Amino acid sequence: MKVLDFLESIWRFAFTKAGTEMEKMSESEYNEAFINGKSDEQIKVTYERAWSAKNFEIELYWKRANYFWAFQIASFAGYFTMIGSDAYPKNPQVLYFIVCIGFITGMAWTFTNRGSKVWQRHWEIHVDMLEDRITGPLYKSVTSPKTFSVSKINEIVSRFILSIWFVLGVKYFSEHIILFTTDFSNIDYQVWLSSIFVIYFTFSMITGYGRGRFGERKVQFYKRKFIVDQENHTN
């Protein structure tokens, strides 16, 4: 039974159907919750919190981008260093391991960009909805009907780099791996196992644990026990 539970947990990590049922909120319901019947001071507090959260998400967005850029630079440096190394002909699998690292971190970077953008946009919409009573339509009034999105361009770059790692992975397979063979002694288990792990963790980001879900959550609170030392107070 424990083995089945363990296998199920492995499956659920990569493939889960956790509920995401949520009720749609109309504009009138939003106004009723945050604007109608609220004083200007209450709306101002809500507005300022939304504005601060928006700025915080933008700051986090670029911190995360720098974090993943560091991974990509290190991975590309390792890749090209390995190609020129004397150890490459003896251990070509190491090159594929580097490709796997670059691909997974590139995939994580792409999805993190999308997730960060969702939260940034989330707070921007709150600012749009709340600002009329505080500053007027300041954030909604723009000076150009069209421009370039810095965050979207960053997302495009992350997808481009992800594509490069995919091409490098295909290149390695075409040069070192025989896809169809009956001679099991020639199977490079290190490469195939690495590929299985890459596929598994990719699906865990797309369909499993990596997906944020905002449906109903069941929580349980626990109380910590602590005792006041009465002796120290009486001495």
**Per-residue pLDDT tens over the stretch 14-54:** 888 666 677 889 999 999 999 999 999 999 999 999 999 99
What is the reported pLDDT for 182? 63
Given a cut of 80, whether residue 234 has pLDDT beyond it is no
What is the reported pLDDT for 29? 95
Given a cut of 90, whether residue 12 has pLDDT beyond it is no
Given a cut of 70, whether residue 174 has pLDDT beyond it is yes
| Domains in the chain: boundaries | 31-137+150-207
Out of 38-47, 134-143, 179-188, least confident range: 179-188
What is the reported pLDDT for 195? 94
Q: Which 3-state string (H, E, C) describes the chain?
A: CHHHHHHHHHHHHHCCCCCCCCCCCCHHHHHHHHCCCCCHHHHHHHHHHHHHHHHHHHHHHHHHHHHHHHHHHHHHHHHHHHHCCCCCCCCCHHHHHHHHHHHHHHHHHHHHHHHHHHHHHHHHHHHHHHHHHCCCCCCCCCCCCCCCCHHHHHHHHHHHHHHHHHHHHHHHHHHHCCCCCCCHHHCCHHHHHHHHHHHHHHHHHHCCCCCCCCCCCCCCCCCCCCCCCHHHHHC
Residue of 122 and 214 predicted with greater confidence: 122
Given a cut of 60, whether residue 235 has pLDDT beyond it is no
Average pLDDT over residues 142-165: 94
Given a cut of 70, whether residue 99 has pLDDT beyond it is yes
- The mean pLDDT value of the chain amounts to 89
Residue of 202 and 214 predicted with greater confidence: 202
pTM, 2 dp: 0.84
